[in-house]
Amino acid sequence: MLQCIVLVNTLVIVMKKLFLLLAAPLFISSNPYEKKKPKKDSLPNIIHIFADDLGYGDLGCFGATDIKTPNIDRLAKEGMKFTSFYSASSVCSPSRAGLLTGRYPQRMGINEVFFPESFTGMPPEEITIAEMLKQRSYATGVVGKWHLGHREQFLPLQQGFDSYFGIPYSNDMESVVYMRNNAVETFTVDQRYTTRTYTEEAIGFIDRNSERPFFLYLAHTMPHVPLYASERFKGTSERGLYGDVIQELDWSVGEVLKKLESEGLLENTLVIFSSDNGPWLVMEDHGGSAGPLREGKQYTFEGGMRVPTLAMWKGKIAPGTVAKALATQMDWFPTIASLTGTELPTDRPIDGKDIAPVLLGTGTRPDDSFLFFSGAELQGYRKGAWKVKKAYEGFEGNKWMKKVAPHDSLLIHLEKDIGEQHNLYRAQKEKAQALFSEMKNAHQKMGPLPESQVVLSADDVSHFTYLKSKK
């Protein structure tokens, strides 16, 4: 009997140990405090390549015949081309704020561009794509133009990015430097090699992070003026220096794609290509082309805010797809959240919409409206194929901004009139007034907006005025 009891106890102990051994993974995986590390192949890498002042008519896949862009065209051939894609603004800093946060820049008071003299920037409490992706343990990096404030509290490392290299504002501004992370690396910048330098930095980032999911924001300085191309590309296009610059950008895209292929990462990487706003037409042959669109940078006509945009994700996005419906730069924030299983912030409005169904061919964008702001002023509204634009008094032009004639209130059917040449306001006044009413309501729903941030104050030159008065 005693032997039987001992045997039973022994069996119970063995069974308990066996149960604990088999059940251990269940207990471990159910620990709510454990940080789960996702499999590498379960999360896509994301590369967003952002050109500066690139026009709608500057790429082969958007109709350019005098500039060769085979690598960028490959993104359209093997992925999706968006033909009605909008920047959040017609100028640089607000556009970038909208892209990285998924919010209209007016919510942050970012209505103008920042300068080297600026003591302001994108508020640190804003949540960027990079900060959001930290939920999923992404490596995050910026290479190129930041232009959201260069004081330390506004730099990328304080906005969720692990690394930064580039020129922190526009290349025509004073004190052009290369910064690395939070410090100036060199005060000597030969802009002939800026595109090449950014490309090398981008490839280095991919190389260092090839074993984990990553988000790379590659924000090129070009083709913002002053234009520079390296010797290898000068004289290679049929559109002068501007075309040469674009062809070097195309080479850069090709190098990134080659790196992804060599690392076996291309099929698990969403590659996005776009521009921050339309072409700077006042710069003439150094300012790019809006193609069939009206006007360019600094204006809320289509040429200022409709930008060439492409997305390639092999095996996920059907090759050669054309998306004609409205989408915006702000959409990438919720879209990336959707594609990576990341939670969106719930303590603030997100203006962008999830276009993952558009990319994957499973649905449409859940909204077809967009507000056109010029600085803090709401000037226009699009709903479906229709666009209304408030009357404009015109601008006589200066060396920074193109002359534009005044116009009455506009009603445009964009699917029939992409160039905004035929005003239907008088013929369909009720339609126009209904759209203006929708525009007003959408603006009011945004709630109170902050005052515009101070980006620059005037010099006090009274001492020179005094000296001149003595002569």
Which residues are part of the catalytic machinery?
92, 147
Interatomic CA distance for residues 372 and 36, integer angstroms? 42
Q: Is 49 strand, coil or helix? A: strand
Q: Is 215 strand, coil or helix? A: strand
Please tell me whether the peptide bond between 226 and the residue prior to it is cis, using omega within 30 degrees of 0.
yes
Interatomic CA distance for residues 112 and 374, integer angstroms? 9
DSSP-H helix ranges across 215-279: 240-262
Interatomic CA distance for residues 455 and 458, integer angstroms? 10
Give the residues across from 322 on adjacent strands.
Answer: 81
**CB contact at 8 A, 90 and 299:** yes
Instruction: Calculate the CA 8 to chain-centre distance.
Output: 69
Neighbours of 396 (CB within 10 A): 8
Assigned token pair, 15: 């069974």
- Closest residue by Cα to residue 452 from 109, 108, 114, 105: 109
Which residues of 121-199 form beta strands (DSSP E)?
139-144, 163-166, 178-180, 183-186
Assigned token pair, 159: 């906005």
What are the φ and ψ backbone dihedral angles of 269, each rounded to 5 degrees?
Answer: -130, 125
Interatomic CA distance for residues 276 and 97, integer angstroms? 10
Interatomic CA distance for residues 109 and 49, integer angstroms? 25
